[in-house]
Amino acid sequence: MFGSVARWAAAGLLVAAAVRAGLPGTVEHAHQLTAENWEEKTRNGMWLVEHFSPGCGHCRAFAPTYEKLSEENKDLEKSRGMFFGQINCQVQGDLCNSHEIKFYPQLKLYQNSQEIDQYTGDRSHGHLTEYVQDKSRIFARSLAQNVLVESGREKVTSGVNAEGISVNAGEEELDRMIKDGPVFVKFYAPWCGHCKKLAPTWAELGTAMKDKLAIAEVNCEALPALCKKHKITGYPTLNLYNAGAVKPYNGPRKLNKMQEFALNAIIPPTLHHVDAEELKTVQKRKDVFFLFLHTFGTKPNDLAMLKKTSTYRANDVAFYQSSDPDIFASSKIDGTKGSVLAVFKDHMDKPVSTLYFDEAHPSTDQINTFIMSHKYPLVTELTPDNHEELFNLPTRALIVLAALKPGSKNRKEFESDLAYFTKVSRAWQKGGRQFSQPVHFVWTDATRQSKWLKHTYGVNPKKLPAVVLIDPPLNQYYDTTLERDSLKFDGASIFSTLEGMYQHFLIPKAASSALERGSKQFEDGVMGLMKIVARHPFLTFFILGAFIAFAIFGLGRFIDYDLNKTNAANSRLD
Decide: helix, strand or coil at residue 165.
coil
How far apart are the C-alpha atoms of 535 and 110, rounded to whole Å? 80
DSSP-assigned letters across all residues of 114-140? EEEEE--S--SHHHHHHHHHHHHHHHH
How deeply is 56 buried, as exposed, middle or buried, from its count of CB atoms within 10 A (0-12, 13-18, 19+)?
A: middle
DSSP assignments along 305-328, one per residue: HHHHSTTGGGSSSEEEEE--HHHH
Identify the H or E element spanning 411.
Answer: helix 411-431
Is 246:239 a contact under the CB 8 Å cutoff?
yes
C-alpha–C-alpha distance, residues 346 and 323, integer Å = 23
Instruction: Give me the catalytic one of 59, 195, 220, 227.
Output: 195
Q: Cα separation of 241 and 224, whole Å?
A: 19
Q: Is the CB of residue 79 less than 8 Å from the CB of residue 336? A: yes
Label the pairing between strands 166-168 and 214-219.
parallel
Dihedral angle, C-alpha 49, 55, 57, 62, nearest 10 °: 30
Q: How far apart are the two ends of the chain, measured CA to CA in Å?
A: 140
Within 249-366, strands assigned E span 272-273, 288-293, 318-322, 340-345, 353-356
| Euclidean distance between CA atoms 527 and 233, whole angstroms | 8
Q: Please say if 192 is a catalytic residue.
A: yes
CA–CA distances in Å: residue 418 to residues 184, 412, 547: 37, 10, 58
Which residue, among 426, 308, 432, has the nearest Cα to 371 in the 3D structure? Answer: 308
Cα dist. 364→22, 32, 304, 360, 370 in Å? 49, 40, 10, 12, 10
Amino acid at site 545:
G
For the chain, how many residues are written?
574
Radius of gyration (C-alpha) of the chain in whole angstroms: 35
407 CB-near residues (< 8 Å, 6+ apart): 414, 447
CA distance 96 to 90: 9
Q: Could you give the C-alpha distances from 190 to 97, 235, 253, 462, in angstroms and in order?
A: 84, 10, 17, 50
Instruction: Look up 96 and say whether it is catalytic.
Output: no
What amino acid positions are annotated as catalytic residues? 192, 195
